[in-house]
Copies of this chain bind each other. A is one copy, B any other.
Amino acid sequence: MQLRIPGPTPCPDEVLKAIGRQMINHRGKEFGALQNRITPKLQQCFQTRNDLLILTTSGTGGLESAVVNMLSPGDKILGVSIGIFGDRFIECAKVYGAEVIPLKYEWGQAVNPDDVKKALKDNPDVKAVLVTHNETSTGTTNPLKEIALVVKEAGKLILVDAVSSMSSIDVQVDAWNLDVVISGSQKGWMVPPGLAFASVSAEAWKAHEKAKMPRFYFDYTRAKKFIPDGQTPWTPAVSVYFGLDVALDMMLKEGLPAIFDRHQKVAEKARKWVKSRGLQLLAADEKYASNTVTAVKAPADMEVSKFTGALRDEYQVVIAGGQGGMKGKVFRIGHLGFVTEKDMDEVLAAMDKALPRAKKE
């Protein structure tokens, strides 16, 4: 089986074995040592010395945690969106009472940092910018470094959805001055879903002190209090911790530059296939095409569900269709985490076989 959706992603055997370990006391020494081993390894991957919180939730829960811990009802924020997950981040902030100035792009477009600069100039009372690094729904990666430069020059907080990029694509939390950065265990980390990670800068902690949105389960103050003991305020997803400990060792042994390079090569292979088959990437400018998920425009005569169905049922290759309004118009290949060029060769070979059988009736 080739599970090639943008998460959950396949886990190495060593990770699966660790996940099946017997339970331990989450308030005991062994768990404390486990979290204290995992945290600095996560910080290495985040390229940060900021506090790193581990939350038992999905990536979306992680995004909610960034919102409710940094903002107050009525706060004006700039909500930058290039797709479904950007919209979700904005929607969450609205639900908690933020006043959102949207900066939205068409599907397949990446953010132009100049637009952010202008929006912040036009709205000097904006407190924070919400932005997606890698938009899973459109297979597009934003120029985060350049966006962050503009946001930090304007003296604003930047809250980043790096759920599907962190650990697979270069994200330099400290060098780029990113305030809160969220990722999720089932993406590039080679472990099952259940955990979200949040890095929190010194400036973010200052904003947190004044942030009045209600929060309990996701409260960063409560989480921080338990860091010294290697614990979390609420019972954590212990099995995923077991797997993560092993996966992080594998990742750091490979090394971040090698991991980023591998993701790029695998993605380039996918993009080359797309173009050579006369298909079109959804990403308008290939420069911004994602190295973790490739979104492809379905040709007019393709029935996407027939394509993904044939791939799954006949070739044991699982890819994703389009989300929301992109359903039926897009298919997406996930290539993040535990993936090699050989995996991608197998996937593309299966796609070649399935393509002719995906015609609309």
Q: Which residues of A are interface residues toward B (Cβ below 8 A)?
A: 1, 3, 5, 7-11, 16-17, 19-28, 56-61, 64, 91-92, 95-97, 184, 186, 192-194, 213-218, 233-240, 312, 318, 320
Contact = CB atoms under 8 A, between A and B. Distances in A.
Contacts of A61: 56-57, 217, 234
**Taking chain A's interface residues, is the majority helix, strand, or loop, or is none over half, making it mixed?**
loop
5 contacts: A17-B20, A27-B320, A58-B234, A64-B216, A237-B237
B22 A193 contact: no
Contacts of A22: 1, 3, 10-11, 16
Contacts of A312: 28
A238 B192 contact: yes
* Copies of this chain assembled into the complex: 2
Nearest to A15: B20
Contacts of A234: 58-61
Contacts of A7: 235
Contact of A58 (B5, B10, B56): B56
A35 B97 CA distance: 33
Nearest to A337: B23
Nearest to A68: B214
A235 B56 contact: no
A24 B193 CA distance: 11
A184 B96 contact: no
A192 B23 contact: yes
Given A20-B19, A23-B10, A56 B95 contact: no
Given A1-B22, A238-B192, A28 B318 contact: yes
